[in-house]
Amino acid sequence: MNKKARVLLITPNLKGIADGVNRIQPSLGLMLIAPILEKNGHKVKIYDAALDGWEKRKIIDEKNKIVMIGQDEDGISKVVSNFNPDVVAISVLFSNLLESAHQIAKIIKKVNKEIKVVLGGNHISSAVSDYKFFKLQNNSKVKNLIHDLENDYFDYGMAGEGEFSFIKLVEAIIEKDENKLMKVPGLVKKKSKGDYHINPNQSVHDLNTLPRPSRHLVDMEAYFKIGAFHSAKSRSKRVLSVMCSRGCPEKCTFCSTPSMWGQNTRWRSTDHIMEEIENDVRDFKIGEIQFDDDTITVNKKNLFSLCDRLEKIGLPWCTPNGTKVNYHFNKQEEMYKRMHDSGCYQITLACESGVQRVLDKIINKRLPLDTIYPSIENAKKAGMLVHTFWIVGYPGETFEEIQKTIDFAMNSGADSFSFAILSPLPGTPIYRKVISEDLWWGGRSLEDMLFRSSLVKVDGFNGPDEFEKFVNDANIKANLLLKENDPKRFEYKYGKQSTEAALVKQT
């Protein structure tokens, strides 16, 4: 093949809270796709519309202080026109990015209707999974569509892990080879309303075949200046976000990870991980590493190998995603000590609920309640700060159980807390329950998904606003406990910043 493509990779504008902390970091998925395209001679540009228009805030919901953050239509049109791509891929991680993604697709087609527009990311993968599920269920109450592909501005969807399949799509498009195109792994294409051509996904079995992420194609200095990476309270603004593994062996009903990445945890070799870290620490003067793995503690041998090498780097690191509380419970003190000695200053523990019935029957989380308090204490003894994740508002959870979770958490001895309101993520059993039983609050839907926004009816509350205030108040109260109980540890965690508003934003 002689002809090469011009490929524009986009992350959309962010829907966020006007007076909240809206987190932004480079798209790891796009930075992995880009070097494969470049290696094969294609011209690539990564464009973050939210980063480019970070200071532009358009209020879209006055009552709830919801804003759209990012570049306007003229700015996006100019980027598309100047680059003149053959193919544009828009990556949507969560459903709250959809509104912007659809608008950007419309803008692209307005610039040049011949540009092929592809929707990728977790959202479309989960949407395809749900479509297949409901098709088998044959539930007449569910309007079973892949809604995004009913929008004529999107030509294709790409489900699953796209690093090595997306380039096949690009080459089929540029060669105008319809037969080759229709065989691309993960391809989703509308045939007629409600009927789609869906190819099986492709997984990357050997993660060591993945390239070093193309951070040179994004404006790392702009991300550093904003300093709103994944972790709630970082030690440095110059953060390197890294993933060592994919997949999770758990089956939590609220989580889309097993559906997207599988239940077998695949690891990169320590050499492969450290080649990325060592080079990027040097090239970008990194001050902190944040590991975005879903289960970084599941394999103790791999974790210890990584810790040995991280200790030589001498940088602080943390786990912004929640780690399973009871992994290696009987040898946990040793594991946490190794993590701390290699630079881990804070671990996040995914506790989720303080009620065993909720853990067992609603979440399907294999977690004995009596392991939570000792695990928190073990991490603190090892020298780490302990942040905890809790979720309230599950379908079937009672008001009394919600209150028990909050009380249980506040008595746990953790340093900080994130009480999240359940978000029914596409691709999860809970989402399918919400859809099947129509459990949405009146006037709320998937498009309203934001951090601590209530979408699903909750026992004991008359509406979403009431529940959101309840959870917000719980976050403030819980995160002031450390200030009251241990002022020195509080200052170590937060510095001298101690206002209630700042604490809520940081957790």
- CATH number for position 395: 3.20.20.70
* Same domain flag for 29 and 141: yes
Asked if residue 114 belongs to a domain, the reply is yes
* Same domain flag for 144 and 263: no
Asked if residue 171 belongs to a domain, the reply is yes
The single-letter DSSP state of residue 474 is: H
DSSP helix, strand, coil percent of the chain (3-state; round to 5): 45, 20, 40
Out of 198, 220, 240, pick the residue that ends a domain.
198
Out of 198, 218, 244, pick the residue that ends a domain.
198
User: What's the mean per-residue pLDDT of the chain?
Assistant: 93
Question: The domain that contains 141 carries what CATH number?
Answer: 3.40.50.280
* Same domain flag for 246 and 366: yes
Asked if residue 270 belongs to a domain, the reply is yes
Out of 198, 216, 247, pick the residue that ends a domain.
198
Tell me the per-residue pLDDT of 454-479, one tens digit each, with 9 for 90 and over. Answer: 999 999 999 999 999 999 999 999 99
Asked if residue 203 belongs to a domain, the reply is no
* Same domain flag for 171 and 279: no
Distance CA 12, CA 103 (A): 9
Range of the domain at 478: 229-506
Percentage above 90 pLDDT, the chain: 84
DSSP H helices, 227-322, are: 257-261, 270-284, 300-313
Q: Is 120 helix (H, G, I), strand (E, B) or coil?
A: strand
* Same domain flag for 351 and 487: yes
In sequence order, the 6+-apart residues with CB closer than 8 A to the CB of 443 are: none
- The total domain count for the chain is 2
- Confidence at residue 423, expressed as pLDDT on a 0 to 100 scale: 93
Tokens standing for residue 47: 């464009």
Tell me the per-residue pLDDT of 423-442, one tens digit each, with 9 for 90 and over. Answer: 999 999 999 999 999 999 99
Tokens standing for residue 387: 């942040």
Q: Is 79 helix (H, G, I), strand (E, B) or coil?
A: helix
* Same domain flag for 120 and 245: no
Distance CA 265, CA 248 (A): 5
Asked if residue 20 belongs to a domain, the reply is yes
Q: Residue 382 half-sphere exposure, CB side, CA atoms within 13 Å?
A: 26
- Per-residue pLDDT at 288 exceeds 90: yes
Asked if residue 205 belongs to a domain, the reply is no
* Same domain flag for 142 and 269: no
Question: Looking at 52-61, 281-290, 362-371, 405-414, which range is the least confident one?
Answer: 52-61
* Same domain flag for 259 and 328: yes
* Same domain flag for 234 and 192: no
Asked if residue 127 belongs to a domain, the reply is yes
- Per-residue pLDDT at 40 exceeds 70: yes
* Same domain flag for 250 and 162: no
Asked if residue 181 belongs to a domain, the reply is yes
* Same domain flag for 288 and 393: yes
* Same domain flag for 262 and 188: no
Nearest to 358 by CA among 253, 453, 460: 253
Helix (H) or strand (E) holding 352: strand 344-352
Tell me the per-residue pLDDT of 112-125, one tens digit each, with 9 for 90 and over. Answer: 999 999 999 999 99
